[in-house]
Amino acid sequence: MQATDAAAITLDDYLGMIPKVEVHAHLIGSMRPSTYDEFARNAGIELPRSAAAFYPYEDFYEFLKLSRLGTTFLNRREDFARVICEALEDGLNLANQRHTEMFFNPQYFMARGIPYRTVIDGLCDGVRQARRLWGVSCLLIPSFGRQIDERGAHEVLDAILANREDEVVGIGLDGAERDGPPERFAAVYRRAGQAGLKRTAHVCEDNQTMAEAPPSNFATCLDLLGCDRLDHGYNLLADSDMVRRARDEGKYFTTVALASAEVRRAGRFRSIARMVEEGLPVTINTDNPAMFGTNLAHSYRAVCTACGWGHQEARRFSLAGVDASWLDDTEKQRLRAEFTASLDTLGTALAANPD
């Protein structure tokens, strides 16, 4: 997918070919389905259906169950390397995804006796191999599954801080909000911030009720967790004060175009459209591309079609991905220049389309 072809292209082509950044994807949810099946077979586990047919899920909790099952398949340094390298290869080939920020949950591996060092060494191997082979970049975000208790979260952070790698620039918090309110993580997030790590958290997800994931969780993520970025954010639309604050703060929301349950898709599109209308900084992401049966090009097409957006909006999302990333300023500038040149070329090719 090179942006050098001067021939006319369609909007559909354009949405596929433009360079993209994914700042909200999870390791297990990005695992190539054939690899997931192979690992399950090797582990002697019979799956309810092939990983390629996982989506759609009965509900969010069925997805979480299969996602956690996937964590039990990764044991060796080379397993972690393979999974992330394949995910980056697929992102590039399917969606021209040039930069990725990937969540992974150390606690599930550590609980099975796999040292954090093994996990991070494998992931760094895979990220560096992808950079060598295809020139794509990736940062890693160790993330707490929010059902972890406070002591467990501190132990995970201890491991992160004792094994620093350039690829690890920040931490995250994920899983069902009802299982762990953000305030539980105030102390661990403070320590992470003091150690120079950036911070994000899943918040105000629409697969939770308003009581489970209230708009006030957004304020907690800013005030107690010191978040630099927020993942999702839809439920905050129910509170006009929170919407105003989000606009004033100007921090990016990493929205996810396609929800885990099919019944939630239309509502999700409406929420993203409203966040954009309200002037909130938004990026488009996949969350779990392989496990949601999508990729970033497919997600761009889906959200643009549903919201009636064209090439100008897609261009803004492409560049917003760069701006929202946790790359350092030099890398960001370089990527922005590369993206702008590619978007200009593709914009010219799109304008040449007589349709």
User: Which residues sit at the interface with Zn ion, rule CB under 5 A?
Assistant: 287
SS (H, E, C) 108-120: HHHCCCCCHHHHH
Task: Kindly state the smallest distance separating residue 352's Cβ from Zn ion, in Å.
Answer: 38
Nearer to Zn ion, 24 or 315 (CB): 24
As measured in angstroms, the least distance from the Cβ of 102 to Zn ion is: 11
In the complex with Zn ion, the residue whose CB is nearer, 13 or 287, is 287
Least Cα distance to 251 among 219, 212, 213 occurs for 219
Residue 142 and residue 115: Cα distance in Å, rounded?
Answer: 14
**Residue 92 or 141: which CB sits closer to Zn ion?**
141
Least gap, CB of 232 to Zn ion (angstroms): 7
Considering the complex, state which of residue 259 and residue 343 has its C-beta at the smaller distance from Zn ion: 259
Element at 324 (helix H, strand E) = helix 311-324
Nearest residue to Zn ion by CB is 287
**Nearest to Zn ion of 17, 31 (CB atom):** 31
Is the bond into 56 cis (omega within 30 degrees of 0)?
yes
Contact yes or no for 96/20 (Cβ under 8 A): yes
- For Zn ion, the closer CB: 90 or 287: 287
Question: Sign of the C-alpha dihedral, residues 282, 288, 292, 295?
Answer: positive
Min separation Cβ 182 and Zn ion, Å: 15
Nearest distance from residue 145's CB to Zn ion, in Å? 11
Among residues 71, 68, 65, the alpha carbon closest in space to that of 39 is found at 71
C-alpha span between 222 and 217 (Å, rounded): 9
Q: Closest Cα partner for 49 from 61, 37, 39, 63? A: 37
In the complex, minimum distance from the CB of residue 172 to Zn ion, in angstroms, rounded to a whole number = 8
CB 210 within 8 A of CB 178: no
